[in-house]
Structure 1
Amino acid sequence: MSIRYLKSHPHVSRGSFSEKILTQIRREFGAEVEPFTLHLPVPELLAGVWMACRETLLAGNGVRDAKEIIATAVSMLNQCPYCVDAHSMMLLGASGDDFSRALQKPELSPFAAWGAATRTPSSPILATPPFSADEAPAFIGTAVVFHYINRMVTILLGTSPLPFTKGLPKMVAMRMAAWFFGKAVNRPKQPGTSIDLLPEAPLPEDLLWAKPSPSIAEAFARFAQVVENAGTLALPQEVRTIVNHAVQEWQGNDQELDNRWCEEAIACLDDANKCAGRLALLTALAPWRVSETIVRDFSSYFAGDNLLVSALAWSSFSAARKIGTWLTLPDPATRP
């Protein structure tokens, strides 16, 4: 599957930093899948998103089935059919159950409800999550990772990783893919083995939910740092200030049917920065509205795949980390 809007596929040479990351992904995820490889124009972002995903979904505390349900529920919430198919497939590989059957299990259905509520800060289930305090960084981290990945995938990839999108052919393709990925899904994984891909960084205050797990805290601290570096490179300060303000005011709701709110927010910018601001705001708060024209306009002023991926990553992670602030750590004295 091709990656939209990227003009070239980066060459990965033997022994390079990118090759080292991809080797880990192949071994532990099962294949070089596009939600990771779309970050190849900026290898540090590839490392960061892999670390964040690996240390939560793959190696973090908690049952993999439940984390795959959260990944799927978050993807449904964000209207990302590619990720819904991908993680329904992973769930099938992990448990033998598809998403609909897993929802019928009383031990798993609360995780779907929690994932579906992650953009509703006032939802009661966020105050009483279905996981323990020890498991919380992995489950919250999984949700945050997929709020990030969903945005990137919605803009840069198609509607499904499968060759068929409906009916019996899709069911067969999903079961074949689940079998293919099943070995990697069920292989034991040691926490922390990806951390050395990036240098140490401080954990930002809005990611303190990760602190109880050293490996997850390290992964998110380092990912946050490379995302911030990427944003500084790709987006002018005036644009980042506007996006930060909009994200901080956001309460998880879908935006208005037109883009008036976006145009009003960027009205004070010059033409180049309006193009950057439009892309960044829509990526963060309404990624399904990012069109080819919006991407082309951005690239006419900020040329290069690395700048496009950097701008999308910074904007996506800005929204994802905001969502993370709504997700509550359970009382250590209680366990579901």
Structure 2
Amino acid sequence: MTGPFRYTSPEPPKSATGEVADVYAQLATDFGIKDATTFVVLSASPTLLTATWALMRESLLAGRASRTGKELVAAGVSLANRCPFCATAHAVLLHATGEHRLAETVLRGDVPEDPGDRRLLAWGKDMSAPQPFPAHEADEYVGTALAFHFINRVVSSLLSEQMLPGGAERYRLVRSTAGRSLAATVRRDLRPGASLPLLGTTGEAPPWAAASPVGTAYGALRTAAYQGAGLLSDEDAASVRESVAGWDGVTPLPLDARLPDRADRPGARLALLAARAPYRITDEDVAAWRVPPFTDHCLVHLIAFGAICAVERVEAVVRATDGERA
């Protein structure tokens, strides 16, 4: 493996056309990070790329809720999912909001001093807890959390753990400097819904965000990600769904958990690991499944299928908790 991409070879962003080029252009303007590998890795599937970008943009970047608060939730999700790439990225973005001490506190795994910050970080780690934000901001906070439950799994499955060349992100000065370079972008007010014209799929919006751009983007991502089920037999796709349905949405997959056999059911194994423990995917797991005619497009869709199964399970936990609050 060379570079950030473990198992795929995306086309260079400068050669992108159509909706992929449109996403890269909006990403550079609204996110402030040109050619972000988190999204480039999905470029083999324009429908997945556009839907993932739309959900992140409409929940985390646009809207009324505090960007710092949403970054805390995203950091909590990333820490719970053992995604060091994403946890570091959110520390950088907390630096960008001006919360330099908070950024380093979160990345160290320490508890924030402010009670409100503590509650948001804790909810990101365990979304079965009561929601620590007003109901009218639920679409943004829940959308942010679910976006990163999906993105964490894509990143852990398909990217290296290093966010910057040479692992430079391990230095506090580098993180702080990178955050300061994004400060102006992070503090911009973005128009909600600007990503929706890019979407190549549609889907049913969830009740918690039905009338918002977040709901439209979430429905599109579910539709795009579920296309990956077609890469498995009906029996294997059902077994992945059943395994994830029995999960509590929080507890890591036990090391001794029984997994589908790599030799006989490599696709089911990959999808289930993407859902429950993407950081445990090995070169051997991918090589056992990635044989002709499967391509980069197929691999990102298989990983996306496992990821969206996990996202839907977490969403069900959130709905149950919200029902109890109501």
Query: Is the 2:10–2:43 contact (alpha carbons within 8 Å) kept by the matching residues of 1?
Result: no
Confirm or deny: 8 A CA contact 1:132 1:330 kept in the other structure: no
Per the alignment, in what secondary structure is the counterpart of residue 325 of structure 1? Answer: helix
Give the distance between the partners of 2:269 and 2:228, measured in 1 at CA. 17
C-alpha contact 1:247 1:284 (8 A) present in aligned 2: yes
2:195 paired residue number: 194
Q: 1:162: which partner in 2? A: 164
Q: 1:113 aligns with which of 94, 98, 122?
A: 122
> What is the aligned partner in structure 1 of residue 109 from structure 2?
none
* Structural mapping, 1:228-307, within 5 Å: 228-232=226-230, 234-252=231-249, 253-259=251-257, 261-263=258-260, 271=264, 274-300=265-291, 303-307=294-298
User: Offset of 1:201 from its aligned partner?
Assistant: 2.7
CA contact (8 A) 1:279 1:294 kept: yes
TM-score with structure 1 length normalisation? 0.86
CA contact (8 A) 1:247 1:319 kept: yes
> Is this contact kept in 1: 2:47–2:200, CA < 8 A?
no
Report SS of the residue matched to 2:115: coil
Task: Give the TM-score of the pair, scaled to structure 2.
Answer: 0.88
Task: Give the counterpart letter for 1:229 in structure 2.
Answer: Q
In structure 1, C-alpha distance between the alignment counterparts of 2:69 and 2:97, rounded to whole Å? 10
**Preserved contact between residue 201 and residue 224 of structure 2 (Cα < 8 Å):** no
Counterpart position of 1:185 = 186
Gaps in structure 2 of 5+ consecutive residues: 107-111
For the Cα contact (< 8 Å) 1:12–1:18, is it kept in 2? no
Q: Quickly say closer, same or farther: Cα 1:63–1:330, change in 2 above 3 A.
A: farther
Identity fraction in percent: 28
Corresponding letter in the other structure for 1:208: P
Could you report, residue by residue, the CA deviation over 1:48-99 in whole angstroms, capped at 9, with x for unpaired residues? 1000000101113310001001111111111111111000100110133233
**Paired residue for 1:99?**
103
Gaps of 5+ in 1: none
Structure 2 CA distance for partners of 1:171 and 1:246, relative to 1, 3 Å: same
Q: What is the alpha-carbon distance in structure 2 between the residues aligned to residue 63 and residue 110 of structure 1?
A: 14
1:188 offset after TM fit, Å? 0.8
Q: State how far apart, in whole Å, the 2-side matches of 1:96 and 1:164 are.
A: 25
Shift of 1:8: 4.7
Paired with 2:297 and 2:168, the residues of 1 have a C-alpha distance of 34
Amino acid at match of 1:108: D
CA RMSD of aligned residues (A): 2.5
Letter in 1 for 2:52: V
